[in-house]
Amino acid sequence: MTLLKYFFFRENQPRRMVYVLGLLLLVFLAGFKSASVERIMLHMESQSLHRGKVVRVEAEVFFQAHSGKMVTRYIEPAHQVMVTNSKGEVAVYNEKDNTVSYRQGAEYSTEAGMMHFFLQGKTRDLGLSDFGFQQMSTDFRDGLVITEWFPPASLYNMYNRIELVHEDFIPIYAGYYDAQRNLAKKVYYSDFQYFGDVYLPGLITEFNYVGSDSIINRIRFSDIKTGYQAVSPWFNFEIPADAKLSQ
């Protein structure tokens, strides 16, 4: 997934939220291959608030590192299952009417995303240097380390700078400023959990600013199980051969 798509992906419709949260899960899980975690299962709950309306998505996720396959069983919206692989192929199966729809693109690959930088131990810059950003300044304030990052020339039209805040070497905040120097997005990372030699946030809270409007997303990960503790028949789920193509 490109940096641009991750930072500014905005949607609040339940049907399309399935794809949006699917992308976020790819972001969250992609790096487990590099962290030597063979399989992981977890529970995810997301709430999106926009113009007084709340869209809620709840799902169970099953990911296998060796194959790059991820199965997401949606509890709400109900009766939907998303299957994604490392090639960027996505299938969304509707159990109720036995239909399936397909999408494909690099942004859907289980080897794409940003959260894998947590899993690779790249918490100093969350992978910004990999996207061509350069550190502009470092400030120490009340036990926090605040750094500012300048975008590459190819992103001048989108970003003025990105601000990261660390506490005890763990990133807890990221602020994204657009080309007009307005704060366009704030992300808070909290409730960290420790797996082997990496930390993962159990809660991600986002504030997206669109003109005078805003979209608030809160995504919580819980009941995380890895390795031999991650046992479920959903790891082997396949789309039924007789599923009909959705219009």
User: DSSP of 212-233, one letter per residue?
Assistant: TEEEEEEEEEEEEEEGGG---G
Domain 3-245 has CATH 2.50.20: yes
The answer to whether the beta carbons of residues 90 and 83 sit under 8 Å apart is yes
Q: In the structure encoding, which two tokens stand for residue 60, read together?
A: 């169970």
Q: Where along the chain do its domains lie?
A: 3-245
Cα dihedral 154, 160, 165, 171 in deg (nearest 10): -30
SS3 state at 182: coil
How, if at all, do strands 134-141 and 213-226 pair? Answer: unpaired
Q: Which of 75-84, 109-118, 136-145, 226-235 has the lowest mean pLDDT?
A: 109-118
First to last CA, the chain: 26
| Confidence grade of residue 109 (pLDDT, cut at 50, 70, 90) | very low
Please give the Cα distance from 192 to 176 (Å, whole number).
Answer: 22
The tens digit of pLDDT for each residue in 65-85 reads: 777 788 889 998 778 998 887
The tens digit of pLDDT for each residue in 125-181 reads: 887 887 889 999 999 999 999 999 999 998 899 899 999 999 998 899 999 999 999
